[in-house]
Structure 1
Amino acid sequence: MTDTLDATRTGGPVSPSRSALRPLGQDEVRFVGGFWAEKQELNASAVIDHCLTWMERIGWIGNFDRAADGTVAEHHDGIEFVDSEVYKLLEAMAWELGRTQDAALAETYRSLVERVAAAQEPDGYLHTSFGREGQRPRFSDLEWGHELYCFGHLFQAAVARVRTGHDDLIVDVARRLADHVYREFGPDGRDAICGHPEIEPALAELGRALSEPRYLDLARSFIERRGRRRLKTTLFQSSEYFLDDVPVRDADTLRGHAVRAEYLAAGAVDVAVEFGDDALLAAVERQWAHTVATRTYLTGGVGSHHQNEEFGSDFELPPDRAYAETCAAIGSVMLSWRLLLQSGDAAYADVIERTLLNAVLVSPREDGRAFYYANTLHQRELGSVPAEDQLSERAEASLRAPWFEVSCCPTNVARTLASVASYVATASPDGVQLHQFGDIDIETSVAGSPVRIQVRAPGYPFDGRVSVTVDAAEEIELSVRIPSWASGADVSLGGEPVLPKDGYVRVRRVFDPAEPLLLDLPMTPRLTYPDPRIDALRGTAAVERGPLVLCVESTDLPDGDHVDAVRLRSDTAPTATPDGAAAPVDLVSSAFGGWPYGTAPHADPRTAAVVELRPYFQWANRGPSTMRVFIPLAGA
């Protein structure tokens, strides 16, 4: 076995064998400064170490040591799927090593992989909660055991290692485990599925990365087995919760448990692409469109039910009861990226930007050592500060908590930030497409000819000025997304205006490196009004600035007023501040009356004020506060 791989096998988290657009790997695109580089540095310096420290401290990594020495049945820490958190951390480390080649991290990574590998059984099976004397039998609880789910995350950790140029121990572990899963669930094995989808996209990517068609065949089998109502339900968890109510290709929208739904849809796209199943791909495109139109929060978050972490019905999007799990937002990015690669449709890139900057980045605290699991859009009560050394309930942390009893979100954030550059740009046979902005260096090839592109947007997402410099000897087509929010964007090349079409400006020419494409994306704050079918939001509006959703936080109100005292004036536009907006509002009396209903509209005493609105992802970094995104209108 060799430790390194040919460069043709490198890339990012997703690498379809055929697609309209080719994703670029870490060896081709990277953030070199600005906003996203700062987030990646935070991930490298704080988030990854924080995850490792907590999982060592509470025994989740120690489970592998005890599995190796035969004592884990006597003492296992955490619930059934904590193995997956270790695997997501390994994936984050692998992507980070591909980005930085940090020697200390490499040693930590090597040691952790060896501890995981030591727990693998001779036939390839690897799980710390099942199969040994004193534990439940293997695959005896497919509804809740999460065995295949955990395997999927190990496979994705191995894919990250392969795609950053290595074929070493974690890849060998994944091969042996995938072969075991194929024997158990392949054509001659069990006709069954896992209660939590994840293995589907993971097997597809592992099959792509290792050029192993059996893994792709098994991914297809798992997709096609859905919808037969084979998983045992309970009073509270239906077949819809498990995504086992109808076949994937027959569903009209994403439904059930939000993370499960996003992961399954991502796997369905992978399978559809590899097997040329246009009907399956069209089904997922239909589901995505319906979900974005009726079941998605302004932040890009999804999942309005705390019960079962599920999607609600169409237009059931209460801001104060939003669950909007961080992992579901990451799943949305995974799905939208796959669909973007197949179609080149700017709508997918728009959702990726919205979701990353708002629904994902709201999770980590500004120091990278505490996280939100669920993400409300309206906090009515002051949060309580969680202890820095104690576990928290996953959805009951009113401020970001350092760790949860179910801590899927911190490790998911870590692997996403480590690989976020992979969602920036693509290539095609005749050009390069830029989907996201920042300080970015791209080095790739088009039709065998080298292309170097420098994107400079040092103030983005707070400032909309972007320059794109292309250095290529041959004629290429450069496509740059103009976000759907950027109406009136000023785009020019050599002093001549360039007009967008279908969400992108496209320029085909031999570029002069001394003549950059210049974008000035408008950052004027704007009012956003909800669809009237969203009952909980009638009579309100939100404020957005550029790609950022803003919010009002009690920390910025005079005299400690509650955010529910704010009434947004729609007759006077908000003005821009360096990273948010100053909004004219009325503050209503907070005095309680004897009865909150009447025969005429309430006319509370009001005082005029101007309040500062800040990016939603930054909220709750200054101590306990109340907060809201959608603000009642002064005339409502």
Structure 2
Amino acid sequence: MTPPSSPPVAATPPVDGPCTPRARHGALRPLPFDAVRLSPDGMLGAWQGRNRAQVLPHVLERLETSGVLDNLRVAAGRAEGQFRGFNFADSDLHKTLEALAWEAGRVPDDQPWEAFVGAAVDLLAAAQRDDGYLYSHVQLTAPGEELTHLRWSHELYVLGHLLQAAVARARTTGRTDLLDVATRFADLVDTRLGPDGAEGYDGHPEVETALVELYRLTGERRWLDLARRQVDLRGRGLLGSGPFPPAYHQDHVPVREATEVTGHAVRQLYLLAGVADVAAETGEQALLDALVRLWESAEGTRTYVTGGLGARHKDESFGDAHELPPDRAYAETCAAIALVHWAWRMLLLTGEPRYADAMERTLVNAVPAAVGLDGRSFTYSNPLQLRTGHDGADEQHPSGRLDWFACACCPPNLARLAASLHAYVATVTDDAVQLHLYAAGEVRVPDDGTVLRVRTDYPWDGRVEVAADPDGTPLVRDLVLRVPAWADPAAATLTVDGAPVRLDVRGGRVTVPASPGAPVRTVVLDLPMPVVALTPHPHADAVRGCVALRRGPVVWALEQADLPDGVVLEDVAVVAGAQPLDGPPAPALGVPVGVRVAGVHRPAADAPPWRASGTVPLPPDVAGGTPLELRLVPYHAWGNRGPGAMRVWLPVAAAGAGTPDDHADDHPDAGADDHGPSAHDAGTAPLPRCGPDGTAVR
């Protein structure tokens, strides 16, 4: 492969990020891509650093060994051989190129991969046919059948990722070489499937959001029209059935009529991200209504406590409402990433903090769990429980992370998200700047020259200090801070330039006005982070009688590695009424504070599969068990100390009458009330019983 012949074209500021609406139908506007810089000391900044130092080099190695580059070399006539991998393997390269483009914009002074990118663009151009078609699988295995098997071919899906990579490269480096290649392919699709062509859409949505972004970059209306056409046609059953039903492809009902998320989780979420992009440019209320309706279906009934989505290994799909089994959770990594994309677009459209809450939950739990601390090991599915003795021979549900997959969609997807994480931190309006994700770093507002320095150890500590640059101007716009849904507004405090201010939370946010008469320099929002016990919805049968522990936005898990020798994880329960507390740090996992709670160990190795009783028994109590303190790790850090059992949802054992409680000092108020707190957010671990109003009963 030869270096690129296309000279760099000076990028004109501002540099747009992954999602930059042209129209003003939305409530919020994203900042330029280079407006936010994350500190390497914070969780998100450290993640970006690991992505650059370990993940990206590893992904580049695997593009070579997996056959992705060889497929294109054969298509270009530069090598001989057979197609290797899944039919959509080209997209692994495209997502990697997008990640490298965002890295080039994030660290413009150090671009170690430009030679690789230039050579890859040259290879893609050589493999591209004269009519613009570029999809190595069809070119090598089924020439002459282009765009004729859209139900399963993934041709437009691959085009979508190619377009996103090209847009990112054009925005961050000013180079249009990849854009020229991608646009030629899009031209062909517009001719064949545009308003004057056949009616067709891809079985795997993704191209919709990419086409809208191409429109945003170029200003050519035809790309927005083509994206809208893809949305308008879907649901008419044009894809047919077999081997999967129409709902698998979201082809069972028109988008505007859909009432619940269904089918393949990643496809559904990518489609909804694209629909949100179309709505942002057209202002169509019917699309926004459908998006909100489907959000409530996903968020209210089909989302794991970690932010993962997709309950079934079969069809990689959503299940029924509240079908959320922890040990059989599929929760594909790409689905969590797609949720971030969709939530960001909903946040821009509506300005509602609940979408930022969902982004935060997913970005501190489900998504980072998918990449190991070594940056070279990954998960495809993300269970919330791994049983002792689990057979992890299948790469779709292994006993730990793997360095690659036969279907390798997730690692390069993680890379492109991590490289652009900072783009999701803040937004602006004409009169305010909004902080949505709390991370140490710097936020620049180019319109007025404001520079905000954020100091925080979030998500481990709830103190967030936002200070205007001491050498610059004070706040010019109002500052809007999100008060997360997990936080108790009554316990939170706000100070402005050292003076306490009443915390007036409205719609999940607090506004600090910029006052020319009394210029604001420093704002401190303090969100206490007690450990709380979460109890599941009564219809979530798989985890009935269990609790999950959360501290701030972080969900915690119990690992076999933290239990005494001889103690099997399945034999451990949390003591009802126990107050979960902060625990010791785990420096090896990058965790500065832990979580601990009183538990009990009752071996069940010799117990029969079931026991008979003449009456319905009470839940098991701790009598006869051995007290022990359970120490948990963040869910996102599980599996970094070798294989072993893990669970997020922990069974609860009742503190039986007359049973001494060795941990009473940890929770002196346990058992003091007749009724516990809300069944969804409890300060202590309740008994696994619920009253008719859904509250836990002691």
Q: TM-score range by the shorter chain?
A: over 0.9
1:350 partnered with 2:357: yes
Counterparts of 1:116 and 1:9 in 2: how far apart (Å)?
29
**Does 2:496 align with 1:493?**
yes
What secondary structure, in the 3-state scheme, does the structure 1 residue paired with 2:249 have?
coil
- Answering whether residue 256 of structure 2 is matched by residue 249 of structure 1, we say yes
- Provide the secondary structure at the position in 2 that maps to 1:460: coil
Given that 1:204 and 1:270 are in contact with CA atoms closer than 8 Å, whether structure 2 keeps it comes out as yes
- Indicate if the aligned counterparts of 2:104 and 2:173 stay in contact, CA closer than 8 A: no
Q: 2:598 aligns with which of 560, 584, 605?
A: 584
Tell me which moved more, 246-255 or 17-26.
17-26
Alpha-carbon displacement from aligned partner over 1:199-241 (angstroms, at most 9, x marks no partner): 0111111111111111110000000011111112125x11000
Q: What is the letter of the counterpart of residue 568 of structure 2?
A: H
Amino acid at match of 1:502: G
Distance 2:475 2:437 in 1: 24
* Correspondent of 1:467 among 443, 465, 468: 465
CA 1:560–1:123: 2 relative to 1, 3 Å: farther
After TM superposition, the score normalised by the length of structure 1 is: 0.95
Mean Cα deviation higher: 170-179 or 296-305? 170-179
Matches for 1:369-380 after TM superposition, within 5 Å = 369-380=376-387
State the one-letter code of the partner of 2:496. Answer: L
Contact 2:493/2:500 (<8 A) preserved: no
Cα distance in 2 for partners of 1:227, 1:407 equals: 28
Instruction: Give, in angstroms, the shift of residue 359 of structure 1.
Output: 0.7
Q: Is the 8 A contact 1:569 1:584 kept in 2?
A: yes
Aligned counterparts of 1:575 and 1:57: Cα–Cα separation in 2 = 47
Unaligned 5+ runs, structure 1: 386-391
Q: Distance in 2 between matches of 1:103 and 1:476?
A: 34
**Distance in 2, Cα, partners of 1:239 & 1:70:** 39
Whether contact under 8 Å (2:496, 2:520) holds in the other structure is no
Count residues in correspondence: 625
Query: Which of 327, 337, 340 is equivalent to 1:330?
Result: 337
Aligned equivalents of 1:475, 1:193: Cα separation in 2: 47
Root-mean-square deviation (CA, aligned residues, Å) is: 1.9
Contact 1:7 1:165 in 2 (8 A): no
Secondary structure of the 2:607 match is coil
Shift of 1:61: 1.1
CA distance in 2, matches of 1:366, 1:133: 39
8 Å CA contact retained: 1:545, 1:580: no
Counterpart-to-counterpart distance in 2, 1:123 and 1:242:
28
Equivalence for 1:453: 452
1:590-609 paired onto structure 2 within 5 Å: 590-599=604-613, 600-601=617-618, 602=620, 605-609=624-628
In the alignment, which residue of structure 2 is the partner of 1:105? 113
- Letter of the structure 2 residue corresponding to residue 262 of structure 1: L
Q: Tell me which residue corresponds to 2:556.
A: 550
**Alpha-carbon distance between aligned partners in 1 of 2:608 and 2:165, rounded to the nearest angstrom:** 60
Q: Secondary structure at the match of 2:438?
A: coil
The alignment partner of 1:301 has SS state of coil
Match of residue 15 from structure 2: 10
* Matches for 1:458-537 after TM superposition, within 5 Å: 459-471=457-469, 472=473, 475-487=476-488, 488-494=491-497, 495-499=499-503, 500-510=505-515, 515-537=521-543
Question: Any unmatched runs of 5+ in structure 2?
Answer: 1-5, 586-592, 655-687, 689-698
With structure 2 as the length reference, what TM-score do the two structures score?
0.86
- The residue identity in structure 2 corresponding to 1:450 is G
Instruction: Tell me how far apart the structure 2 counterparts of residues 614 and 356 of structure 1 sit (CA, whole Å).
Output: 16
**Per the alignment, in what secondary structure is the counterpart of residue 559 of structure 1?**
coil
* C-alpha spacing 1:165/1:430, structure 2 compared with 1 (3 Å): farther
Give the counterpart letter for 1:631 in structure 2: L
Shift of the 134–531 alpha-carbon distance from structure 1 to 2, 3 Å rule, reads closer
Paired residue type of 2:186: A
Who is 1:206 aligned against? 214
Partner of 1:226: 234
1:103-252 aligned at under 5 Å gives the runs: 103-131=111-139, 135=143, 137-235=145-243, 237-252=244-259
Could you say which residue in structure 2 is the equivalent of 1:389? none
Q: Which of 624, 632, 636 is 2:651 aligned to? A: 632
Q: In structure 2, what is the Cα distance between the partners aligned to 1:483 and 1:225? A: 38
* CA displacement 1:159-184 (0-9 Å, x = unmatched): 21122141321111122111111111
Which SS does the other structure have where 2:449 is aligned? Answer: strand
Q: CA deviation at 1:586?
A: 1.2
1:298-332 residue CA offsets vs partner (Å, 9 max, x unmatched): 00100001000000010111111110000000111
Contact 1:449/1:473 (CA < 8 Å) preserved in 2? no
Compute the displacement of 1:190 (Å): 1.7
User: Larger C-alpha radius of gyration, 1 or 2?
Assistant: 2
CA distances 1:421-468 after superposition (whole Å, capped 9, x unpaired) = 1110001111100000111211123xx4221111111x2211222100
SS at match of 2:597: strand
Tell me, yes or no, if structure 1 residue 539 matches structure 2 residue 545: yes
Bigger Cα displacement from structure 2, 296-305 vs 602-611: 602-611
Matched, 1:436 2:437: yes
Change (3 A) 1:432 1:595: closer
- Which residue identity does 2:425 align to in structure 1? V
Correspondence for 2:636: 617
Distance 1:5 1:394, change over 3 A: farther
In structure 1, how many angstroms separate the alpha carbons of the residues matched to 2:358 and 2:337? 11
Distance 1:568 1:132, change over 3 A: closer
- Distance, in Å, in 1 between the alignment partners of 2:360 and 2:285 is 27
Matched, 1:78 2:118: no
Task: Find the aligned partners of 2:407 and 2:390 in 1 and give their Cα distance.
Answer: 20
Judged with a 3 Å threshold, the aligned counterparts in structure 2 of structure 1 residues 422 and 160 are, in CA distance, closer, same or farther, namely same
Cα gap change, 1:133 to 1:372, in 2 (>3 Å): closer
Distance 1:255 1:341 in 2: 24
Cα drift, residue 605 of structure 1 = 2.8
Conservation of the 8 A alpha-carbon contact between 1:423 and 1:436: yes
| AA at the equivalent of 2:46 | E
| 1:129-187 deviation digits (Å, cap 9, x = unpaired) | 11468646212321111111000000010121122141321111122111111111111
Distance 1:30 1:340 in 2: 21
Letter in 2 for 1:572: A
Q: Secondary structure at the match of 1:304?
A: coil
1:90 to 1:513, Cα distance in 2 relative to 1, 3 A: farther
1:428 is aligned with what amino acid?
Answer: T
| More displaced stretch, 26-35 vs 317-326 | 26-35
Deviation at 1:384, TM superposition (A): 6.9
SS in structure 2 opposite 1:3? coil
SS of structure 2 residue aligned to 1:13? coil
Q: Deviations over 1:457-496 (max 9, x none)?
A: 1x22112221001354674111011111111222211322
Q: Which moved more, 1:181-190 or 1:147-156?
A: 181-190
Report the AA paired with residue 252 of structure 1. T
Tell me, yes or no, if the aligned pair for 1:304 and 1:323 is still in contact at 8 Å.
yes
Cα distance, 1:133–1:243 mapped onto 2, change above 3 Å:
closer
- Give the 3 Å change call, closer, same or farther, for CA 132–572 of structure 1 in structure 2: closer
Is the 8 Å Cα contact of residues 47 and 418 (structure 2) preserved in structure 1?
yes
Is residue 2:325 matched to residue 1:318? yes
Q: Which amino acid in structure 1 is aligned with residue 408 of structure 2?
A: S
Deviation for aligned residue 1:3: 3.2
- Residues 363 and 375, structure 1, Cα contact 8 Å, conserved in 2: yes
Matched, 1:305 2:303: no
Contact 1:394-1:407 at 8 Å conserved across structures: no
- In 2 relative to 1, CA 5–223 (structure 1 residues): closer, same or farther, beyond 3 Å? farther
| Preserved contact between residue 540 and residue 631 of structure 1 (Cα < 8 Å) | yes
Residue 38 of structure 2 corresponds to which residue in structure 1?
31
SS at match of 1:144: helix
Kindly indicate whether the alpha-carbon contact (under 8 Å) linking 1:393 and 1:404 is maintained by their aligned counterparts in 2: no
Structure 2: how far apart are the matches of 1:110 and 1:332?
31
Distance 2:93 2:139 in 1: 19
Aligned residues of 1:10 and 1:165 also touching (Cα < 8 A): no
